């Protein structure tokens, strides 16, 4: 990481326990920089990796990673202008068309993303779009359910990174497609909630090309001493603004070429 660690090992563990408590029991906390204003991006990732270590120790399986804050719409909405990454585990995955509980979430929002599934390992630094496309088995449409653990969904970059990029649940679906058959920059998406259009955009909104977000993710991972193994599921970041959901809401994300992903939210 370009920025240096400012937190002691003890502080990292304390903050990780605080975030883990909020994630596990669905309550909101103040952003971490209220107490540690000097917190750096490197500190945020140290807390995130400690969280991943603890989840793995409890038997959660790492299935992939997600890029976040990769589109203008998302950066503007959240007031942050640098992309970030977070991890995805088997416990966060939900089947397509399923009912998703909200009582174990704080204030969920949904966003449409292009997901990549790898057939070959990717390792940084200097990972490029061409490397990502060559290593991709297929892409598919996905919806991420994000849920910041910070009050009012308000945070800064070090805090949101420590909170694993607000990751909560994710749903992959639609039609798996080979990258050679698609122009990944021009895929349109329309998001509907309860039959009304609540967002629309095109995949180029994500850093000009969603594979660019995956390359960025691989390069951040390399700074953290990690790589993307074959089989990884990688989400490239919300194309449009995230939309709040509550029990009773039905959401469908319709992607050009990739089909649609739907889900319903319950208490």
Q: Which of 61, 233, 216 is nearest to 144 (CA)?
A: 233
Assign 40 to helix, strand or coil.
coil
**254 is in the binding site of which of ligand OOG, Mg ion, none (Cβ under 5 to 8 A by kind)?**
none
Q: Which of 111, 212, 226, 249 binds ligand OOG (CB under 6 A)?
A: 111
Residue 241 binds to Mg ion (criterion: CB under 5 A): no
- Binding characters for ligand OOG, 198-217, by CB under 6 A (x = yes): --------------------
> What residues are paired with 142 via a beta bridge?
113, 172
Q: Distance from first CA to last CA of the chain, Å, rounded?
A: 40
Residue 144 binds to Mg ion (criterion: CB under 5 A): yes
Q: Which of 254, 248, 242, 266 is nearest to 192 (CA)?
A: 254
- Least Å from the CB of residue 57 to Mg ion: 26
Contact 153, 247 (CB under 8 A): no
Contact 191, 253 (CB under 8 A): yes
> What residues are paired with 66 via a beta bridge?
86, 235
Q: Which of 95, 62, 90, 254 is nearest to 172 (CA)?
A: 95
What is the spatial distance between Cα 89 and Cα 91, in angstroms, rounded to a whole number? 5
- Least Å from the CB of residue 26 to Mg ion: 19
Residue 238 binds to Mg ion (criterion: CB under 5 A): yes
Candidate ranges 2-10, 36-44, 123-131, 235-243; the one touching ligand OOG (CB under 6 A): 235-243
- The residues in 156-185 that bind ligand OOG, with binding defined as CB under 6 A, are 160, 165-166
User: Based on CB atoms, which residue is closest to ligand OOG, 66 or 121?
Assistant: 66
Residues making contact with ligand OOG (CB under 6 A): 66, 68-70, 74, 78, 111, 113, 144, 146, 148, 160, 165-166, 237-238, 242
Residues making contact with Mg ion (CB under 5 A): 68, 111, 144, 238
């Amino acid at each position: 990481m370009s920025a240096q660690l400012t937190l002691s090992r003890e502080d990292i563990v304390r903050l990780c326990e605080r975030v883990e408590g909020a994630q596990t029991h669905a309550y909101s906390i103040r952003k971490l920089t209220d107490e540690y204003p000097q917190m750096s991006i490197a500190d945020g990732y140290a807390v995130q990796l400690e969280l991943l270590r603890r989840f793995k120790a409890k038997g959660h399986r790492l299935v992939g990673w997600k890029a976040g804050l990769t589109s203008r719409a998302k950066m503007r909405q959240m007031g942050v202008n640098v992309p970030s990454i977070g991890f995805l585990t088997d416990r966060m995955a939900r089947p397509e068309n399923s009912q998703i509980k909200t009582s174990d979430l704080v204030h969920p929002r949904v966003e449409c993303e292009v997901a990549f599934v790898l057939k070959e390992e990717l390792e940084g630094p200097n990972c490029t779009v061409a490397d990502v496309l060559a290593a991709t088995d297929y892409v598919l449409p996905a919806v991420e359910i994000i849920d910041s653990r910070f009050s009012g969904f308000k945070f800064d970059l070090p805090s949101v990174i420590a909170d694993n990029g607000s990751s909560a649940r994710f749903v992959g679906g639609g039609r798996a497609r080979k990258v050679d058959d698609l122009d990944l920059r021009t895929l349109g998406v329309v998001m509907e909630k309860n039959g009304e259009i609540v967002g629309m955009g095109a995949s180029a909104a994500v850093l000009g090309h969603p594979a660019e977000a995956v390359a960025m993710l691989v390069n951040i991972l390399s700074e953290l001493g990690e790589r993307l193994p074959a089989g990884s599921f990688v989400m490239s970041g919300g194309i449009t603004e995230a939309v709040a959901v509550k029990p009773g809401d039905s959401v469908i994300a319709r992607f050009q070429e990739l089909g649609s992903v739907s889900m319903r939210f319950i208490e």
